[in-house]
Structure 1
Amino acid sequence: MAANQSRGIRNNNPGNIDYNPENNWKGQLPFDPVLEKRFCRFQSAEYGIRALMSLLGTYQRKYKLRTVAALINRWAPTNENNTSAYVNDVTKDLGVSPVQEISVSDKKTAIALAKAIVRHENGSQPYPDEMFEKAFSLL
C-alpha cells in the first residue's frame, strides 16, 4: 500500500468509521493500536463501504435522520469537522438540497451518498462502481 494514500483508503475504511469494541462489522480486522489507534480496519474496501452504508441505514432507522444535513451532522460532528462544508459537498454530489428527504434503503441513493462521503473523507473517490454494488449486496 502506498504511504501517500489517505488513512481511510489504507485501512479499507473509506468512511473513516471509528473503532468501537461493541461493533463487530463484517470483514473487520482485529483492533491493533500499533497500526491504527482510532479507526476500524477492514479486510477489503467492499467491507468498509458496506459498514459505511450499514451505519447510514442505522441512522435512518434508529435516529430517524432523513436528510443529508441530518445524516452528515451525525456522521461528521462539528466538534471535529467543518460539517456545513461537508453537507454542501455531499448535497452537490447528490443533486439534492440539505433538507430534502432521502432514503438509504434505495440502492442508487445509498451508493451515491457513500461515494460522496468517500470522496469527502479521502480527498478522492478511487473505487469503481462495481465495488459499491458489491458492498450494497453485502448489506
Structure 2
Amino acid sequence: MTVTTLEKLPRGIRNNNPGNLRHGDDWQGLSDRQPDTAFCTFDDPVYGLRAMMRTLLSYRNKHGLRTIRQAIGRWAPPNENDTDAYVQSVARRCGVDPDAAVNWSEPVMMVSITRAIVTHENGRAPAGRPADWYEPAIYSKAARLALGAG
C-alpha cells in the first residue's frame, strides 16, 4: 500500500486501532513508534481489535455494564459523539435491543459488537475490502487473544 493510499484511510485503520482507543494503557501489540498524539498505534490490526475486546470485557467485568446502550455510552460519551445514534447503529448491526443484556464475553457476540463498532468508527470499507474492514479470521483471532484462548 502506498503512503498516499494509506493517508486516505480512516485514522483508526491507518493506526491499526479501528476502535480509536486513546493512549493510556500499555496494550499488547502497541507499536514502538506512536506518531498519533491522541490515539494508539498498533503493530497489527489484530492487536487493535484485541484491545477493543479487552476494553469491552472490562466494561462488563469491572463496571457491570450489560447492554449495548451502557457500553457505547462509556465507549463514546455524549460530549464527544452522537451517542444515541452510535447505540442504535451498533444494536441494529448486532440484531439486539439496545437495552437488552448481552453477553459479549461469548465470542460470537464479542465479534459482532466489535465489527459494529469498527464500522461505526471508520465507515464502510471501500470496494476490494470486507465491508467491516477485516476478514472474519482476524476478528476471530482477536477474540481468542482477548479471551486468553490463543
- Between the aligned partners of 1:57 and 1:30, the Cα distance in structure 2 is 25
Alignment of 1:2-13 (within 5 A): 2-13=6-17
- Name the structure 2 match of 1:126: 133
Shift >3 Å, 4+ stretches: none
Is contact 1:31-1:40 (8 Å) kept? no
C-alpha displacement at 1:126, in angstroms?
A: 1.0
Write out per-residue CA displacement over residues 72-94 of structure 1, whole angstroms, 9 at most, x where no aligned residue. 00000000100000000001001
Deviation per CA, 1:53-78: give whole Å up to 9, x if none: 00000000000000000000000000
User: TM-score if structure 1 supplies the norm length?
Assistant: 0.94
Please tell me whether residue 72 in structure 1 is matched to residue 79 in structure 2. Answer: no
Residue 26 (structure 1) aligned with residue 33 (structure 2): no
Please report how far the alpha carbon of residue 30 of structure 1 lies from its aligned counterpart in structure 2 after TM superposition.
Answer: 3.3
CA contact (8 A) 1:19 1:39 kept: yes
Asked if the contact 1:19–1:38 (Cα under 8 Å) also holds between the matched residues in 2, the reply is yes
Q: State which of 124, 136, 143 in structure 2 corresponds to 1:136.
A: 143
In structure 1, the partner of 2:128 is: none
- Which TM-score applies when normalising by structure 2? 0.87
Determine the C-alpha separation between the residues in 1 that align with 2:96 and 2:39. Answer: 29
2:129 corresponds to: none
The percent of aligned pairs where both chains have the same amino acid is 41
What is the CA RMSD across the aligned residues, in angstroms? 1.0
Residue 16 of structure 1: aligned partner: 20
| Structure 2 residue ranges without an equivalent (≥5) | 125-131
**1:91 & 1:136 partners in 2: Cα distance?**
19
Offset of residue 127 of structure 1: 0.4
Aligned residues: 135
d(CA) in 2 for partners of 1:58, 1:10: 25
Structure 1, unaligned runs of 5 or more: none
